[in-house]
Structure 1
Amino acid sequence: MTKLLVLLIPFIIMVLLSIILLIKISIKRDNLTSLIITILGFILTIISIIYTKNINFSKNYLFFKDNYSFFYNILLIINNILICLISYIWLSFLKYNKDEFYLLIIISTIGSMVLINANNFITMLMGIELISIPICGLISYDIRSKYSLEASIKYMILSTISSSFLILGISFIYLDYGNLNFIYLINHYSYNNIYLIKYLSLIGIFLILISLGFKLSIVPFHLWTPDVYQGSSMPVTIFLTTFSKSAIFIFLVKFLIYFSQINYNRFFFYKILIILSILSIIFGNIMAAITKNNIKRILGYSSIAQMGYMFVILIYNQIYVTHTFSLEMMSICIISYIISNFSILGIMSILSSFNLKDKNIDKIYYYRGLFWYDPTLTIILTIMLLSLAGIPITIGFISKFYLIILSIKIKLWYLTSIIILGSTIGLYYYLRIIISMYLIPSEINKNIYLNTIKNNNFFIFIKKLMLFLAIITVFLGFYPELIIQIIKKYI
């Protein structure tokens, strides 16, 4: 019992953090105090995760803890600390309900911890819903925006539909085995020498894959993505892009590894994953290329393509029994994806926070001539966009390079060609944004960089943080061995 309580310390801390924040909000509202409490709670949770690293749950429990969950729980919590910092200045300009934003972030973080440590379909369902439900509130958080309510309704409807698929898939698997524990299902096949997965379970896993496809906005389950990205405020768009998608994808990799061990019809999923990957890469890149002005919509379509690239990892795992190499590559992909998207949208978020009345902050022409106002910000944005495009001397290049290696190892030459073609198209629309920043500014752009921003200490702090992330991006592009050795130690 004592061991179980020790293992649950990170979860207990997060639940207590949400309760403390609720009590604090009921007593007095203060944006800065809520930020400090949230960040301290997150830091304490990271310490507790490190403290309980070498202790594990029994295999018949709802949770299963390993190096995989240890690494990604810490990564996602650090990501949410940075999101809270970025959101602070934006929340400062809101008139009402500032503190609840942090509460919704905390609940979603609890969901990610439950999901990544899940050893049972019930905890999987709980984790996904704990991530998704607060997102509905976050999308509609800025009640001044006419698009936010529409975006929230779209996300809520599609999220409800995807949850229905998830529950139906779980029920099919339960009908077959009468048990929802992942380890039990693997052992059931091992001990009974079953070489063919039952058809109800096959349908169940397929329905779960559809549900998670909605959350990841994989084609053809992507329809909500550009509208929700455009309708959400900048900090929420960062949260959706970096945290939500990463948490779901990290679990999906783990989930399909479990079932690749027992599913001798895994080639069925192998073919489905190839189709989803190809459709997402082609559609995401083409739609981003033909989107004219809106950067958030471009990044929305770009995220569809990025998920398509990362599906190569899932395809590889369906073929090879040993997953060490693919898991190492996935860590690089996730880190590259989070850093690049966080930095681009983070800079846009800070600029939009100081220019709340300007509704064109997410338009490409708004950043025309940014170099002449702030060369540092422009260089940071350039590095991050080039990293997303997979250009050498960035971690994004290392990520794309290893994905191509994975596709070559499984001898899918047409998939390799599509990855290269998609990257070429991606370079076009990323360069459109980059070139615009170095052009001569027009009169309409004079408000982009006000003196209030230049002299604001918080803005200077965030700019230094973004510069640090840009240096990391370039350094890891030159010397990826450092991050690879760290990943090998913990994955």
Structure 2
Amino acid sequence: MNNLIILLPLIIIILTIILILISISVKRNNFIHLIIAISGLFCTLISIIHNMYYNINLMNNTLFIVDNYSYFYTIILLIISIITCIIAYPWLINFDYHQDEFYLLILISSIGGMVLTITNNFISMLIGIELISIPVFGLIAYNLKLKNSLEASIKYTIISSIASSFFILGMSLIFIDYGSLNFTYINQHYLFHSIINNISIIGLVLIIVSIGFKLSLVPFHLWTPDIYQGSPTIVTMFLSTFSKIAIFTSFVRLLGHFTNIVSNKLILFNILILISITSIIFGNFLALTQKNIKRLLGYSSIAHLGYMSIILIYNLILPNDVSLSLETMGIYSISYILNNIGIFTVISIISNLNKQQQYKKHFDHLYFYRGLFWYDPILSFIMTVMFLSLAGIPITLGFISKFYLISLVVKMKLWYLVFIVILSSIAGLYYYLRVIINLYLRPYNKLYTLSLFNNLHTKKIFISKYLILLLTVITILLGVYPEFIIQIVKKSMFVI
């Protein structure tokens, strides 16, 4: 009976997908399918909270581990999906075709994210990654009138296919060594077998390469700015938050089992420290010269995933004290998600102001946002707070997350890494401030800007606008009083 209750969230989403498919075949209605999608996701959320409250867990199963760690990140991923559907609705109104399929793709990706949070096997991990990636191919090319979107979709499809190939090859080599693809079994294997086989180490390196592509870590990052720029803004937001957090969540659990194997530690440490440092440096310093706000955020995401990779290094060095790193991961993930949702939603609102201009102009250049404050102070306030939080400025949640991150590095006594984090954060503050200052300058052409922003106060963006204003207030409140979120994150640990 417990197994059925644990599977209930997945069953609810699958039933929601079937219901939408049947509804589409009867009659297309964007609003009705939005309500069905949100209702299904919300019911799934309720079922997960119920399971978490009554402590219904599943440990050491061959495919899945369901614990507070998986519950916590599943709730976060479902909230991202709900917000994405709500914010996408005004954007989808402009389409004369296939509006409703958007919600289907989001729901399928949600299943993939849920599978990744509970995965305890390479097979289920691969299925989860593909359930996220395949719908994203369609989401990136969703706006068929934009050539850049089609180009971005082709690039992402090729890169994702290559990454999956590396994953399958690495998984095969690990199976040759251990005779199993179960994370828990691999962790326990060396309790009874001390013989080291280099095949499994090569397999693990190949899997890190695959995950590096998916998370856009250096040197596997080259696709990121192009995909961010070419994708519809809503899809970019979903890709930068849902996809990366879901994959990173499963990656942390995977490496948590491998870090107990002493023979892997030196190789893993050298690989992870190199990836982390290069991602932090390249991500921040390449963003300095960007004039396209989506490309800037693409390089920024590379840097932030580099910061989050420090959590993996900490788990490797201090595997018996992962509570601080998992606490840092929870706070950093929430901060990163809130900030990206806020910024990309503002970009989406601006880009959808005029239906005729939507396909003719590129609203992701920085000069389009010059003087936004004089036409809509609320959107300017949202972008200001979110960018300051990404930079780690006090009284924002980003400051708390950055403080935790530096605490991790100090505890590891990697002083050169502390210097790199601080120096890169200063560079990040520079390009974030460049965007913020641009919002408050006088516009170049007042008549042009007035015509551009003349629809900022229409009713169709009301919900999106005030939803992200609420997220902005939450970012500030959690920055001032972080104890609430800290206590929640402390309960979402996993045990190896």
Structure 1 residue 87: Cα displacement? 0.4
Cα distance between partner residues in 2 of 1:94 and 1:460: 19
Structure 1 residue 197: Cα displacement? 4.2
Aligned to 2:375: 373
Mapped contact 1:197–1:263 kept (Cα < 8 A): no
Tell me which amino acid in the other structure corresponds to 2:276: S
Verify: 1:437 aligned to 2:435, yes or no.
no
Aligned to 1:473: 475
Equivalent positions of 1:69-468 (< 5 A) are 69-190=70-191, 192=192, 194-195=193-194, 197-291=196-290, 293-320=291-318, 321-356=320-355, 357-358=357-358, 359-443=361-445, 444-450=448-454, 452-456=455-459, 458-468=460-470
SS of the residue aligned with 1:238?
A: helix
TM-score normalised to the size of structure 2? 0.96
Cα distance between partner residues in 2 of 1:197 and 1:396: 42
Cα distance between partner residues in 1 of 2:56 and 2:473: 36
Mapped contact 1:196–1:263 kept (Cα < 8 A): no
Structure 1 residue 408: Cα displacement? 1.0
1:109-166, Cα deviation, whole Å (9 max, x unpaired) = 1001111111111101100110111111110010010101110010000100000000
Mapped contact 1:196–1:264 kept (Cα < 8 A): no
| Unaligned ranges ≥5, structure 1 | none
Structure 1 residue 393: Cα displacement? 1.1
1:171-220, Cα deviation, whole Å (9 max, x unpaired) = 00111122111111222222x1x345421111111111100000000000
1:208-267, Cα deviation, whole Å (9 max, x unpaired) = 110000000000001110000111001001011111111111111111111112343212
| Aligned-pair identity (%) | 55
TM-score normalised to the size of structure 1? 0.97
SS of the residue aligned with 2:58?
A: coil
Cα distance between partner residues in 1 of 2:452 and 2:433: 20
Mapped contact 1:367–1:445 kept (Cα < 8 A): no
Tell me which amino acid in the other structure corresponds to 1:246: I
Structure 1 residue 58: Cα displacement? 5.1
Change beyond 3 A, Cα 1:95–1:263 = farther
SS of the residue aligned with 1:453?
A: coil
Structure 1 residue 353: Cα displacement? 1.7
Mapped contact 2:212–2:220 kept (Cα < 8 A): yes
Cα distance between partner residues in 2 of 1:63 and 1:352: 41
Structure 1 residue 442: Cα displacement? 2.5
Aligned to 2:35: 36
Cα distance between partner residues in 2 of 1:196 and 1:74: 41
Tell me which amino acid in the other structure corresponds to 2:488: I
| Unaligned ranges ≥5, structure 2 | none
Cα distance between partner residues in 1 of 2:8 and 2:381: 42
Structure 1 residue 355: Cα displacement? 2.6
1:418-443, Cα deviation, whole Å (9 max, x unpaired) = 11111111111111111111001232
Cα distance between partner residues in 1 of 2:333 and 2:257: 20
Mapped contact 1:367–1:448 kept (Cα < 8 A): no
Mapped contact 2:58–2:67 kept (Cα < 8 A): no
What is the RMSD of the two structures over their aligned residues, measured on CA atoms?
1.3
Aligned to 1:7: 6
Cα distance between partner residues in 1 of 2:451 and 2:29: 29
Cα distance between partner residues in 2 of 1:58 and 1:70: 13
1:400-459, Cα deviation, whole Å (9 max, x unpaired) = 111111111111111111111111111111111111110012323223321x43131x42
SS of the residue aligned with 1:290?
A: coil
SS of the residue aligned with 2:218?
A: coil
Tell me which amino acid in the other structure corresponds to 1:349: S
Cα distance between partner residues in 1 of 2:476 and 2:75: 23
Mapped contact 2:59–2:66 kept (Cα < 8 A): no
Cα distance between partner residues in 2 of 1:230 and 1:51: 40
Mapped contact 2:156–2:227 kept (Cα < 8 A): yes
Which ranges of 4 or more aligned residues in structure 1 deviate by more than 3 Å? 194-197
Cα distance between partner residues in 2 of 1:489 and 1:223: 37
Tell me which moved more, 179-188 or 389-398: 179-188
Mapped contact 1:162–1:211 kept (Cα < 8 A): yes
Cα distance between partner residues in 2 of 1:249 and 1:103: 24
